[in-house]
């Protein structure tokens, strides 16, 4: 069997197809070598590599109603543990819904997977389902890139998303924790959050967005106004208005590395600043600069 320890030139899709016997997409299907089994509910355990942080109870209840009426249409993907229990790699929501529907067993395909394979499949399977929160999605992309050396382009191709979508979601991880909490709680959208990335004080602007009920476009305009020294921003000295080309370059660099970038200077020289919110972000940008990772 091809494993994920092979040289990275094979690409993401080929590695997953080797694990699942599929062309590219991650789908749990029955085959002659991996038949569907019915496993007792109590023998299954949540996966250690589950990227989902929250399971909305109303969503579980809706799925449980569907399970009562139609059963579980897609089997879970699991691996067997040493104590005769099984760890869920893909399908924890279905397992939770089956419990709510008071089923005694669930259909599952048992695979032999090491920790590395289990983590990659759990991340990919959940990302393909498109029902993760924005930050869960961004965390999934980051883990696949950092732990498995996948590029944004590879992820976009195998998940059916554009490279720019992957890049924009990754940028959300640069937000302050307090702003991330507002996003997780649904007080602001991913569109709001991306607009806040260019603000000198994302939290202050986020609180204003929530208080005034601003839409994404209004948030973008306010962030731009503050950047120019307008409303709620520091007044710049006369004649010090930043060149539009520099502003565009700042935005382009911010999009590329996922952190807020400012450029100050005149025709003869200047300075470039990368703003980080944690030591982990600092370590990441240093590593990427050292390895040439900014070229993606």
What proportions of the chain, in percent to the nearest 5, are helix, strand and coil?
A: 55, 10, 35
8 A C-beta contact, residue 285 and residue 294: no
CATH class, domain 8-168, is alpha beta
Work out whether the CA dihedral 198, 203, 206, 212 comes out positive or negative: negative
Q: Phi and psi (nearest 5°) for 106?
A: -135, 150
Compare 278 and 64 and report the one with higher pLDDT. 64
One-character DSSP codes across 100-149: HTT-SEEEEEE----HHHHHHHHHHHHHHHT-S-HHHHHHHHHHHHHHH-
How many Cα neighbours within 13 Å face the side chain of 231? 9
Residue 30 has pLDDT above 70, yes or no: no
Residue 154 has pLDDT above 50, yes or no: yes
Task: Report in angstroms the alpha-carbon separations of 291 from 140, 145, 258, 287.
Answer: 22, 14, 17, 6
Q: What is the pLDDT of residue 129?
A: 66
Total residues belonging to the chain: 296
Q: What is the mean pLDDT of residues 142-165?
A: 84
Q: What is the pLDDT of residue 110?
A: 92
Q: Where are the domains of the chain?
A: 8-168, 175-239, 242-296
In angstroms, the CA 91 to CA 125 distance is 9
Examine the residue annotation and report whether 92 is marked as an active-site residue of this protein: yes
% pLDDT > 90, the chain? 25
Q: What is the pLDDT of residue 290?
A: 73
Residue 241 has pLDDT above 70, yes or no: no
- Which of 30, 42, 69, 92 is the catalytic position? 92
How far apart are the two ends of the chain, measured CA to CA in Å? 29
Average pLDDT, the chain: 77
Question: How buried is 221 (Cβ within 10 angstroms: 0-12 exposed, 13-18 middle, 19+ buried)?
Answer: middle
Q: What is the mean pLDDT of residues 205-230?
A: 86
Verdict on whether the full-model pTM lies above 0.75: no
Residue 100 has pLDDT above 70, yes or no: yes
Compare 198 and 172 and report the one with higher pLDDT. 172
Question: What's the Rg (C-alpha) of the chain?
Answer: 23
Q: What is the pLDDT of residue 48?
A: 78
Residue 281 has pLDDT above 90, yes or no: no
In terms of average pLDDT, the best of 132-136, 146-150, 205-209, 269-273 is 205-209
Q: What is the pLDDT of residue 230?
A: 54
Q: Which residue has the tokens 């909305």?
A: 56
Q: What is the pLDDT of residue 65?
A: 93
Residue 180 has pLDDT above 90, yes or no: yes
The pLDDT-based confidence of 15 (bands split at 50, 70, 90) is: very low
- Provide the 3-class DSSP secondary structure of residue 261: strand
Q: What is the pLDDT of residue 238?
A: 41
CATH class, domain 175-239, is mainly alpha
């Amino acid at each position: 069997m091809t494993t994920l320890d092979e040289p990275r030139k094979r690409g993401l899709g080929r590695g997953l197809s080797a694990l699942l016997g599929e062309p590219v997409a991650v789908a749990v299907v029955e085959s002659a070598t991996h038949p569907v089994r019915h496993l007792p509910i109590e023998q299954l355990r949540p996966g250690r590599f589950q990227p989902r942080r929250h399971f909305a109870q109303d969503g579980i209840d809706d799925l449980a109603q569907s399970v009562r009426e139609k059963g579980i249409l897609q089997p879970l993907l699991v691996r067997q543990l040493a104590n005769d229990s099984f760890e869920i790699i893909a399908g924890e929501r279905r397992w939770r819904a089956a419990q709510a529907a008071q089923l005694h067993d669930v259909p599952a395909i048992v695979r032999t997977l090491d920790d590395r394979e289990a983590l990659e499949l759990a991340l990919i399977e959940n990302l393909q389902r498109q029902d993760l929160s924005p930050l869960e999605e961004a965390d999934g992309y980051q883990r696949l890139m950092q732990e498995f050396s996948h590029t944004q382009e590879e992820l976009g191709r195998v998940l059916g998303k554009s490279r720019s979508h992957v890049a924009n979601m990754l940028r959300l991880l640069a937000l302050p924790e307090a702003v991330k909490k507002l996003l997780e709680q649904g007080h602001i959208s991913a569109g709001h959050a991306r607009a806040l990335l260019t603000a000198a004080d994302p939290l202050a602007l986020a609180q204003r967005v929530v208080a005034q009920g601003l839409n994404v476009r209004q948030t973008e305009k306010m962030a731009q106004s503050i950047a120019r020294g307008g409303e709620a921003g520091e007044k710049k000295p006369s004649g010090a208005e930043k060149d539009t080309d520099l502003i565009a370059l700042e935005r382009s660099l911010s999009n590329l590395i996922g952190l807020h970038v400012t450029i100050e200077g005149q025709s003869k020289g200047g300075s470039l600043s990368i703003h980080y919110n944690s030591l982990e972000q600092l370590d990441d940008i240093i590593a990427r600069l050292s390895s040439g990772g900014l070229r993606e």
